[in-house]
Chain A
Amino acid sequence: MMRGQRNVFGWGRVVLLTVVALAAAVVPLPRGVDLFRPDLVALTVLWFCLLSPRLLGLTYGWCAGLALDGFKGVLLGQHALTLTVIAYVACKFRLQVRAFPPWQQSVVVLCLLWLNEFLLFWIDGVAGHPVTDWRRWLSVPVGAALWPLVSGICARFASRR
């Protein structure tokens, strides 16, 4: 099966997946539950970088991050920067990570999501509106716990076969 990389995923599906992840970032949740909202855009970017970096890599992370900034109405470019950085790390170590069993992949994802949140925290501070509430870190373990589920859904959804 030597189909070109571009045929494995349809672009329409990629866009749809991204839009769903973006919508999940702003979907209204009850007060209290919204603190645990996982960053599905970051998870989607990580999945593409780990499993198919030639198709969608850093540039995809950058574009998805910019769209997320526009959606949430935050400083333009902050998610673009953080998602590019974690996409870079994921692309660098993808061969090791792919060989890991799911729970170890979750640990790697935990570290990357933490890095993402830390960079956002840092940018918030530099931009002059720091959010020092400890609950902002709650989304990181939730995202890591959801990794097996998200990667399964992405694999099922993105593959045409």
Chain B
Amino acid sequence: MASHDPDPRPLLLGGPALGLRLIVLAGMAAGLMVADHREHHLSAIRDGIASLAYPIQVAVQAPVQAWAAMRESFARKSRVEAENVKLAADNLVLRLKLMRFDALEQENRRLRAVRESSSRVVQRSLVAEIVRVDLDPFRQRVLVNKGTRDGVFRGQAAIDAAGIFGQVTRAGPFSAEIILISDPEHAIPVAVNRTGARTIALGTGRSGMLSLPYLPQNADVIVGDLLVSSGLGGVYPPGYPVGKVTQVTRDPGQPLLAIEAEPLAGLDRDPEILLVWFDNAVVEPEPEPEAQPGPAPPAAVEAKPAEPRPVEASPAGRSPEAAPETPPAAEPPP
């Protein structure tokens, strides 16, 4: 198996030169790591590599996609018909729900304006397909086929039809990497929908499980409670479903409850997701002569706490689309 060396040069290649090269290359690698970890200065290099890698990544998943397409085209007619019936029924139900939605949304916006808080509903969305490549089996990350050329930015929220999916951690020109809410490095501020209690849901590294370790023993949480995003931190739009509580362990010896929840979004089955833009700005009411607006609008206070982990601390890149609904009041509060 060992092919012979046809090179006439001596067999023992230089010791010091080899060691020197090791030191130089290892030093360069270490420098890269520090620069990438501390400063995020390497986005140009990373974008370059990502652009080169993207065609290969797409080519790699092509057989998988072709297989799926083939199965689709050979799908039984009866199955497609059944699916069609189900979709029509779903559509009817959704339209029924939607009938009152416009009116409710207007009302909600008006009420929120009275309360001087932001409406923060999703205004624009972009469908992104998940590129079927395995980035790392121990990290819950996926690659999608939309990048900065489509306006995707770091810290953007991603949702699917059932709930919150994750957020963009890295946006290259053609592709973006999304960290799922189940990644062990991810934390999302949530509220228990039934009681309004706020807490933080941490990822566990398993796609079917979130953990809520910060609620006290006397907190009112039961199995089956719906968790919705609270919107604190400003990354995710508030009020979108995140998960369902599956297990509550009350150990009197512990100061805090151990709660497990199951994410509602199809984290490991979605073929595509929605990247969303939402209005995170404060909507102020029409100035009235006797109105006494407080010095700090509540939303500004709300947005400040709950930056539990570095992942959450990226509300910097708000999109230009997220402009306030109404122009801010002309005169400052007295």
Q: Which A residues are closer than 8 A to B by beta carbons?
A: 1-5, 8, 19, 22-23, 26-29, 31, 34-35, 37, 51-54, 57-59, 61-62, 65-67, 69-78, 80-81, 84-85, 88, 91-92, 95, 98, 102, 123, 127, 129, 131, 133, 135-136, 148, 151-152, 155, 159
Contacts and interface: CB of A to CB of B under 8 A. Distances in A.
9 contacts: A37-B137, A58-B22, A70-B53, A73-B135, A73-B143, A76-B42, A91-B13, A133-B205, A159-B3
Contact of A67 (B3, B7, B30, B49): B49
Interface string B21-49: 11001101111110111000010011001
Interface of B: 1-3, 5-9, 11-13, 18-19, 21-22, 25-26, 28-33, 35-37, 42, 45-46, 49-50, 52-53, 56-57, 59-61, 64, 132-139, 141, 143, 170, 177, 184-185, 205, 268
Contact of A77 (B6, B18, B30, B170): B30
Contacts of A61: 25
A147 to B, nearest CB: 10
B138 A75 contact: no
Nearest to A159: B3
B3 A155 contact: yes
A96 B268 CA distance: 47
A73 B42 contact: no
Contact of A28 (B35, B132, B170): B132
A127 B30 CA distance: 12
B10 to A, nearest CB: 11
A104 B133 CA distance: 34
A85 B23 CA distance: 9
Contacts of A151: 1
A71 B22 contact: no
Contacts of A22: 53, 56
B13 A84 contact: no
Contacts of B45: 76
Contacts, number: 147
A84 B29 contact: yes
Nearest to B34: A77
Nearest to B207: A31
B37 A127 contact: yes
Contacts of A77: 28-33, 36
Given A2-B8, A70-B52, A151-B1, A29 B22 contact: no
A70 B49 contact: yes
Contact of A71 (B1, B53, B268): B53
Contacts of A76: 32-33, 35-36, 42, 45-46, 49
Contacts of A28: 60-61, 64, 132-134
B50 to A, nearest CB: 6
B268 A31 contact: yes
